[in-house]
Amino acid sequence: MKVIGIYYRVSTDRQDLDSQKHAVETWLTKLSPEKQPKRTLVFQDEGMSGTDSTRPGYRELLDHAFAGKIDTILVYRLDRLSRNASEAIKTLLTLDEAGVAFISVTQPVLNLGHENPFRRTMLAAFAEIAEIERQTIVTRVKAGLEAARQRGVKLGKPSMDTPELRALIKEKREQGMSLRAIASSLELSYGLIQKLSLPQDTLESSSEEAT
């Protein structure tokens, strides 16, 4: 670890960060001299839910990670990063692809430090979980289309514009994936992904102008 990004989060104003900070700082002091980070950056969000992916501290942390400004993310618990387990796993996989390690000081079994001998096994398990969720969402979309066909609804490209697919695209974009990478992972056209990545009110406005 050369530069680590420490992330703290509390959900309500009644909570404080002291317990998290104490645990993280204690963990750091127990590191051997050669493993001590050269620099630490602190990011935090107070009074914000872990399901909110627009948290300013969280977004700044990810921006630093994907820009190569930190090589390790350190948290008190995984749920401080995200309360959504599947989203957290996808974020960890994306971070690993960017060369950023992850450490939870109270959950060493989840640590994805590069010195972890079980790292590859854990990444494979995480990837499988993420793939299962992806396939579930794709299956739901296809089932919805088939149900619409059986009701006699004429389907075309616009029928792919579903809340589930938009949410999935938004989630992947927030994890740093490009539109082409998303299109490839979902086995959909780049044009469709590009269209659905735009805010819906933007598309409606463009449609009205055209008429």
Dump pLDDT digits (tens) for 3-15.
Answer: 999 999 988 655 6
pTM: 0.57
- Residue 44: closest CA among 68, 17, 79, 19: 17
Report the run of H or E that residue 104 belongs to, with start and end: strand 101-104
Please tell me the predicted confidence (pLDDT) of residue 211.
41
- Whether 104 is catalytic is no
Q: Distance between CA atoms of 101 and 132, rounded to whole angstroms?
A: 23
Q: How many CA atoms lie within 13 A of 129 on its CB side?
A: 15
Under 8 Å between Cβ of 168 and 137: yes
- Report the mean per-residue pLDDT for the chain: 79
Q: Which of 11, 159, 185, 197 is catalytic?
A: 11
Q: Distance between CA atoms of 5 and 74, rounded to whole angstroms?
A: 6
- The residue-averaged pLDDT of 177-192 equals 85
Please tell me the predicted confidence (pLDDT) of residue 117.
61
Indicate whether 154 pLDDT > 50: yes
Dump pLDDT digits (tens) for 88-131.
Answer: 777 888 888 888 888 888 887 777 766 666 666 666 666 666 56
Indicate whether 64 pLDDT > 90: yes
Indicate whether 206 pLDDT > 50: no
Indicate whether 141 pLDDT > 70: yes
Q: Which domains does the chain have, with CATH numbers?
A: 3-116 (3.40.50.1390), 122-199 (no CATH)
Helices (H), 30-118: 56-66, 78-81, 85-97
Please tell me the predicted confidence (pLDDT) of residue 120.
66
Please tell me the predicted confidence (pLDDT) of residue 10.
87
